[in-house]
């Protein structure tokens, strides 16, 4: 879609620094979990890999923050995974567990890692799609609805494991698909835009000047999805929020921006 995305609202939240933006994201998540849990008694979150999301997880798990979320009512999924064993240092699940889930009172039965050990990544993808379908309520278009999706943004414009040039993964009608990134030695399993776009709240966390080109591509009026896969993420009945710092916004003045962005400067 060129120009206007099909979302209710696109917010661009800009912190002077990454720590400031991360604190805003943590506070927003605290408010969102409180409101969602009071309305529906639980809340599903899909967690992203990457260093920027990790900073949020470590903050949420810190003594001043961990009690601000009722983790007993949270149901955790992953937005994508590398096809390695769960204890492998490259595993997103290991990172998310060590930085957050092992440090808060979330019920083990409510933690749903992406399976990676059957030896068949297509089977693992189908298994996870079935897990999402069985555990989540039906959302827009009959698609399982996640309450909250957390994502990072790669310097090449990827989000989750939706990489430039991989139109098949981006347009896939499945909820979950296996991909072989052009640069990475390991295949990956990723949720697809189909399920991301049925979510209520999608947050994309990115910072630093290395991401300036990717953020400009995400927010430009006429960038292509093929070049910037993050543009395929446009919740049909939900909100999309980019949480970033001043450095990552360095290239926004170089492009004509989409006309549906609300900017919040912290
Ligand atoms: C991963 C994620 C990837 C990540 C971005 C941002 O497995 O790493 O699939 O999408 O979220 O690459 O990562 P950084 O925040 O570390 O740049």
pLDDT one digit per residue (tens) for the chain, 266 residues: 444 445 667 999 999 999 999 999 999 999 999 999 999 999 999 999 999 999 999 999 999 999 999 999 999 999 999 999 999 999 999 999 999 999 999 999 999 999 999 999 999 999 999 999 999 999 989 999 999 999 999 999 999 999 998 989 999 999 999 998 877 779 999 999 999 999 999 999 999 999 999 999 999 999 999 999 999 999 999 999 999 999 999 999 999 999 999 999 99
Q: Using a 6 Å cutoff on CB, does residue 55 contact ligand 1?
A: no
Which residue, judged by its Cα, is nearest atom 9 of ligand 1?
A: 160
Query: What global pTM score does this model have?
Result: 0.96
Q: Using a 6 Å cutoff on CB, does residue 193 contact ligand 1?
A: no
Ligand 1 center to 40 CA (angstroms): 30
What count of other Cβ atoms lies within 10 Å of the Cβ of residue 86?
A: 15
Ligand 1 center to 246 CA (angstroms): 19
Q: Using an 8 Å Cβ cutoff, are 22 and 62 in contact?
A: no
Ligand 1 center to 152 CA (angstroms): 5
* Residue 159 token pair: 């989000």
Give the position of tokens 């696109």: 10
CA pair distance 126, 78, nearest whole angstrom: 14
Q: 142, 164, 145, 165: which is closest to 153 by C-alpha?
A: 164
Ligand 1 center to 128 CA (angstroms): 20
* Residue 148 token pair: 């909250």
CA pair distance 88, 93, nearest whole angstrom: 9
């Amino acid at each position: 879609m060129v120009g206007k995305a099909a979302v209710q609202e696109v917010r661009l939240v800009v912190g002077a620094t990454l720590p400031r933006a991360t604190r805003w994201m943590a506070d927003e998540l605290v408010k969102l979990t409180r409101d969602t849990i009071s309305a529906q008694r639980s809340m599903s979150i899909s967690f992203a890999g990457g260093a920027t999301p990790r900073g949020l997880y470590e903050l949420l798990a810190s003594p001043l923050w961990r009690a601000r979320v009722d983790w007993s009512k949270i149901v955790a999924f992953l937005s994508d995974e590398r096809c390695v064993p769960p204890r492998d240092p490259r595993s997103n699940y290991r990172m998310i567990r060590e930085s957050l889930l092992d440090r808060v009172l979330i019920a083990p039965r409510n933690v749903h890692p992406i399976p990676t050990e059957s030896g068949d990544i297509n089977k693992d993808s189908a298994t996870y799609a079935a897990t999402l379908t069985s555990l989540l309520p039906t959302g827009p278009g009959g698609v399982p609805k996640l309450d909250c999706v957390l994502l990072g943004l790669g310097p090449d414009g990827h989000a989750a494991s939706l990489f430039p040039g991989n139109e098949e993964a981006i347009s896939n009608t499945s909820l979950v698909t296996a991909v072989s990134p052009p640069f990475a030695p390991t295949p990956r399993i990723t949720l697809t835009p189909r399920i991301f776009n049925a979510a209520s709240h999608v947050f994309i966390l990115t910072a630093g000047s290395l991401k300036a080109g990717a953020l400009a591509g995400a927010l430009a009026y006429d960038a292509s999805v093929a070049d910037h896969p993050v543009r395929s993420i446009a919740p049909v009945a939900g909100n999309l929020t980019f949480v970033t710092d001043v450095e990552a916004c360095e290239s926004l003045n170089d492009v004509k921006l989409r006309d549906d962005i609300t900017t919040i400067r912290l």
